[in-house]
Amino acid sequence: MELQILDSKTKQKLCTLERISSNTTIDSIKEIYQRKFPNYYPERQSFKSSPKGKLLKGSETLSELNLGAEGVLYFKDLGPQVGWSTVFYCEYTGPLFVYLLFYFRLPYIYDSKFAFTSSPDDVVHLAAICHSFHYMKRVLETKFVHRFSHGTMPIKNLFRNCSYYWSFAAWMAYYINHPLYTPATFGTMQICSGLAVFVLCELGNLSIHLAFRSLRPSGSKQRKIPTATGNPFTLLFNFVSCPNYTYEFGSWVGFAVMTQTLPVFIFAFVGFGQMAIWALAKHRNYKKEFSNYPRSRKAILPIVL
């Protein structure tokens, strides 16, 4: 069959693909399209069957779309793409360095007499260790643990995500490392409990990421209902669909309690808001995909949400 490709916005004709068999998948259409327009690599392309419809999945074939004799597909340019791991490395190495600029009190951040001085409060050093550990862990997880089901994202997300992480890190670090920092009101007890929550949640988060890895063997796009493994931290899977987010939120609450700094609390709750949106979407997908999905499971907070 013959396939017309129109621009989804202007409805102008971009090209005609000839002699296309009806069981061609969208993925192969993307390769054929790239041969005509070498600038548009497959990740950058998306196709729709109507100008305002949903983006078609790569595995769908033309015959499934009921395009009729005069096949028309709408092309949408997703913009320049960048790999997920690149985005992750930028997002996570930024806060790591930014935090340390404040920790070492580089000149022009605080009053010049405090340049390169060190805080008398132990919790400040502890916080620097925790913060660095958190982002080091994320970088290493990106390298060795995560498997990405989608290869790329639009490059503008890189700027948006980086400015979010970097500026929050700077804002938190400014107050925690400030010469006028006030340590925890309830002293060592508060610091220790915050630290304990932080460490446990970091371990929990790592365990969940490892569990996710084992759910998706390398090279496959196979999907299973995530369940608890031998690791006790993964028992949280019995309560929520995205325990990694639950632990992530827990870590930041622990860090906030330990440092008793308002911007950290704000970061924890803004992050929670975003993660809750992702978790609810993922939860909905699980329920749609698996008819036997455990009904008692929530999205991100056990029993509550």
**Footprint on this chain of another protein (rule: CB under 8 A):** 175-176, 178, 180-182, 185, 259-263
Amino acid identity, position 18:
E
Whether 117 and 189 have beta carbons less than 8 Å apart is answered as no
Q: Report, in Å, the least distance between residue 295 CB and another protein.
A: 32
Instruction: Output the CA–CA distances (angstroms, integers) from residue 87 to 243, 256, 281, in the order listed.
Output: 23, 26, 22
Q: Report, in Å, the least distance between residue 121 CB and another protein.
A: 11
C-beta of 152 vs 259, nearer to another protein: 259
Whether 76 and 55 have beta carbons less than 8 Å apart is answered as yes
Task: State whether residue 300 is helix, strand or coil.
Answer: coil
Closest CA to 252 of 90, 150, 143, 135: 135
Q: Report, in Å, the least distance between residue 262 CB and another protein.
A: 4
C-beta of 234 vs 260, nearer to another protein: 260
Q: Report, in Å, the least distance between residue 119 CB and another protein.
A: 12
Whether 249 and 265 have beta carbons less than 8 Å apart is answered as no
Q: Report, in Å, the least distance between residue 183 CB and another protein.
A: 9
C-beta of 232 vs 273, nearer to another protein: 273
C-beta of 262 vs 277, nearer to another protein: 262
Closest CA to 247 of 200, 283, 296: 200
Question: What is the number of other CB atoms lying within 10 angstroms of the CB of residue 92?
Answer: 21
Distance CA 66, CA 236 (A): 43
C-beta of 84 vs 181, nearer to another protein: 181
* The two three-digit tokens of residue 75, written as one number: 């092309």
Q: Report, in Å, the least distance between residue 184 CB and another protein.
A: 9
C-beta of 10 vs 39, nearer to another protein: 10
* The two three-digit tokens of residue 8, written as one number: 């989804």
* The two three-digit tokens of residue 107, written as one number: 């000149």
CA atoms within 13 A on the CB side of 264: 24
Whether 213 and 220 have beta carbons less than 8 Å apart is answered as no
Q: Report, in Å, the least distance between residue 168 CB and another protein.
A: 14
C-beta of 102 vs 245, nearer to another protein: 102
